[in-house]
Amino acid sequence: MRNSSIIILASLLIFLVGCAGQHEAGYWSGRSVLSDRESVAALNVTANSSTLNQAERVRAIFTLFAHHVRPGFTAADMHSVLTDTSWMKITDLTRLELLAGWIPVDSGIDRTVFDLHLFSSQKDDAGNNWWCIEFSLSGPNRSVKDAVGFLNGNTTLSDNPKLEEFALIFPPPKKGFSRSPGGRRMEVYSKEGIHVYP
């Protein structure tokens, strides 16, 4: 019994210490690496242009999220930014069912987490698609259909879901060393601000 109590207390202490870092001064004061000089209209055109290369289109989609989408958005708010989601036809959207390990956005019983892999047909030699937007919607057990509807601006979804958090997950660097989990730059957008894993 005594050993069980010690293990529970130790686990609780580790959890609290890990969470404390998110409330340190400066933790949520990051900045995006993406430029904010283009309009929503111009970025939507770039995102949907089949004549541009994948990198330019992904940059436009990431920039729409980084500089125009905010946690707390409703489906109507999303539609004011993602005015043309034709680019979603070549994405892979999945719901994260079982979470074992670290993910950049908070998961909890009051929300559902999704991964949106951009240009799912474009993979590297190992079969990986590196450009990803991970996001959570309010409400437990939301479906992929709910998430697609939300991103498309469907205002008839049950309980009017809101965007809780999202993370822009960049490909790993080709050279050098990255301290971020998985070796990739991640920009996490929360109601508290932006945190960057370099």
Q: Is position 123 within any domain?
A: yes
Q: Which of 189, 193, 187 is nearest to 33 (CA)?
A: 187
**Judging by beta carbons within 10 Å of its beta carbon (0-12, 13-18, 19+), is residue 101 exposed, middle or buried?**
exposed
CB 67 within 8 A of CB 82: no
Is 156 strand, coil or helix? Answer: coil
Total structural domains within the chain: 1
Residue type for position 86 = S
Q: Is position 5 within any domain?
A: no
Burial track 57-76 (b if 16+ CB lie within 10 A, e otherwise): bbbbbbbbbbbbbebebbbe
Q: Which of 128, 132, 94, 100 is nearest to 113 (CA)?
A: 94
| pTM over 0.85, yes/no | no
pLDDT-based confidence at 90, cuts 50/70/90? confident
What is the domain extent for residue 96? Answer: 28-197
Q: Is position 34 within any domain?
A: yes
Asked if the model's pLDDT at residue 176 lies above 70, the reply is no
Q: Is position 15 within any domain?
A: no
Asked if the model's pLDDT at residue 15 lies above 80, the reply is no
Q: Which of 91, 74, 48, 81 is nearest to 146 (CA)?
A: 74
Comparing 8-12, 21-25, 185-189, the range with the smallest average pLDDT is 8-12
Q: Is position 135 within any domain?
A: yes
Q: Between 175 and 144, where is the model more confident?
A: 144
Q: Is position 130 within any domain?
A: yes
Four-residue CA torsion sign, 23, 27, 32, 36? positive
